[in-house]
């Protein structure tokens, strides 16, 4: 079968690899019908060292179950399913608390922790299939597939940012980042009743979509100028919640510049740093809390799915380009160069 492999920074290839197959009794074999390129895929695309072992890519997918192991009880061949970016059993103590990204099962993992599998491919072996996969009540060619695919990562991640920040009616919220996660954090903040949603981004096509999804204000300035502008829009106070969807230190610094005393900074952009200000002058002095983390998107699928099915929300609008598997390397390049927001891959 064909699959996407990254060999080094900027070097993504579609290659023939051994067919995925059932290995464990709790596995499912899924023929992938829709996948995509994620903003977090761009971190290794920009930094992977030459000489590294090729990495299988992709952690967001919808597909049709082709086969199941003998211990799989909730799925059968022919089911259309969505796979979250984290594999979990959905039964351990952490999963029952809604923290599927910390699942205690020995097979629990992120997709990039499985060397011979990935979502940007023709097929995939899904461990812990009963816990990981969620059946979808539509056909593989449904017009809802782009929106349903966001349940695998970006919608659940944006929603996690808002939930961890405690967004509720009357809140003022700043969203940092106009990528797919940031835009769906805007949608999520609106869904939870935020009164004011300030989107910090400077790409007009993206921020226009942000306004469509619920942003009340857009701030294109960065750094001190951006902080001052948000303060101006909030009567000098800042916002109750800051949803940081970038992952770089300047975005974090911008976040504590605009957060309100007693507020929350909720980070879901994968941090590209280990040290950051948390002391008296940044967080401690004004009782600012730090939240966020890898989104347990499996915990949110049943909650968000009905809103997609009935058209209340359309998170699939973040996909602005569609390609086939052969077009994935170009999709990486276009997203890296900001010519595309998020690339949908149809198989």
pLDDT for 326-335, tens place per residue? Answer: 999 999 999 9
Q: Is the pLDDT reported for residue 35 higher than 90?
A: yes
Q: Residue 196's pLDDT is what?
A: 98
Average pLDDT over residues 291-305: 97
Average pLDDT over residues 171-200: 98
Q: Residue 286's pLDDT is what?
A: 96
Q: Residue 141's pLDDT is what?
A: 96
Average pLDDT over residues 19-26: 98
Q: CA-CA distance, 109 to 10, in Å (whole number)? A: 26
**Tokens 């023929």 — which residue?**
31
Coil, strand, or helix at residue 333? helix
Return the H-helix or E-strand segment holding 200: strand 196-200
The helix-helix angle for 154-164 and 301-309 (nearest 10°) equals 120
Q: Residue 51's pLDDT is what?
A: 84
Q: Residue 210's pLDDT is what?
A: 98
Q: Is the pLDDT reported for residue 189 higher than 90?
A: yes
Q: Is the pLDDT reported for residue 50 higher than 90?
A: no
Least confident of 60-64, 193-197, 280-284: 280-284
**Of 224, 223, 34, the residue nearest 122 (C-alpha):** 34
Residue 162 near residue 182, CB atoms below 8 Å: no
Query: Which token pair is 94?
Result: 């952490």
* Buried-exposed string 282-296: b where 16+ CB fall within 10 A, e elsewhere: bbeeeebebbbebbb
Average pLDDT over residues 310-318: 98
Q: Is the pLDDT reported for residue 52 higher than 90?
A: no
Q: Is the pLDDT reported for residue 169 higher than 90?
A: yes
DSSP state letters, 18-31: PPP---STT-EEEE
Please give the backbone phi and psi of residue 232, each rounded to the nearest 5 degrees, phi first: -65, -40
Average pLDDT over residues 158-181: 98
Percentage of the chain exceeding pLDDT 70: 100
Average pLDDT over residues 167-192: 98
Q: CA-CA distance, 222 to 326, in Å (whole number)? A: 37
Cα diameter, the chain: 61
Task: Name 274's Cβ contacts closer than 8 Å, sequence gap at least 6.
Answer: none
Please give the backbone phi and psi of residue 158, each rounded to the nearest 5 degrees, phi first: -65, -40
Residue 213 near residue 187, CB atoms below 8 Å: yes
**Of 239, 64, 36, 258, the residue nearest 152 (C-alpha):** 36
| pLDDT band, residue 162 (cuts 50/70/90) | very high
Q: Residue 248's pLDDT is what?
A: 93
Q: What is the mean pLDDT of the chain?
A: 97
For residue range 85-96, list pLDDT tens digits in order: 999 999 999 999
Percentage of the chain exceeding pLDDT 90: 97
Return the H-helix or E-strand segment holding 317: none
Sequence length of the chain is: 347
Compute the radius of gyration of the chain from its Cα atoms: 20
For residue range 244-257, list pLDDT tens digits in order: 999 999 999 999 99
Strands 55-56 and 2-8, bridge-based pairing: antiparallel
Average pLDDT over residues 13-35: 98
**Of 338, 335, 332, the residue nearest 14 (C-alpha):** 332
């Amino acid at each position: 079968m064909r699959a996407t492999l990254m060999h080094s920074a900027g070097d993504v290839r579609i290659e023939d690899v051994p067919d995925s197959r059932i290995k464990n009794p709790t596995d499912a074999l899924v023929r992938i019908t829709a996948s995509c390129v994620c903003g977090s895929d761009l971190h290794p695309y920009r930094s992977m060292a030459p000489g590294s072992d090729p990495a299988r890519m992709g952690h967001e997918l919808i597909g049709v179950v082709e086969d199941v192991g003998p211990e799989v009880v909730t799925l059968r061949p022919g089911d259309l399913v969505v796979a979250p970016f984290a594999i979990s059993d959905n039964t351990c103590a952490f999963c029952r608390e809604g923290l599927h990204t910390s699942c205690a099962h020995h097979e629990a993992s992120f997709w990039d922790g499985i060397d011979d599998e990935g979502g940007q491919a023709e097929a995939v072996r899904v461990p812990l299939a009963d816990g990981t996969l969620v059946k979808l009540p539509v056909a593989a060619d449904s017009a809802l597939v782009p929106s349903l695919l966001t349940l695998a990562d970006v919608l659940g991640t944006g929603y996690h940012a808002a939930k961890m920040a405690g967004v509720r009616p009357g809140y003022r919220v700043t969203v940092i980042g106009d990528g797919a996660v940031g835009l769906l954090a805007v949608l999520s903040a609106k869904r939870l009743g935020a009164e004011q949603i300030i989107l910090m981004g400077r790409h007009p096509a993206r921020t226009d979509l942000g306004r469509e999804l619920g942003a009340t204000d857009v701030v294109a300035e960065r750094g001190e100028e951006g902080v001052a502008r948000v303060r101006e829009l909030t009567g000098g106070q800042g916002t109750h919640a800051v949803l940081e969807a970038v992952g770089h230190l300047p975005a974090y610094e911008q976040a504590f510049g605009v957060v309100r005393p007693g507020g929350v900074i909720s980070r879901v952009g994968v941090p590209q740093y280990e040290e950051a200000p948390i002391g008296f002058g940044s967080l401690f002095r004004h009782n600012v809390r730090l939240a966020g983390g890898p989104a347990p998107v499996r915990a949110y699928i049943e909650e968000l799915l009905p809103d997609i099915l009935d058209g209340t929300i359309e998170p699939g609008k973040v996909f602005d380009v569609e390609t086939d598997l052969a077009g994935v390397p170009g999709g990486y390049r276009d997203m890296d160069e900001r010519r595309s927001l998020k690339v949908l891959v149809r198989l």
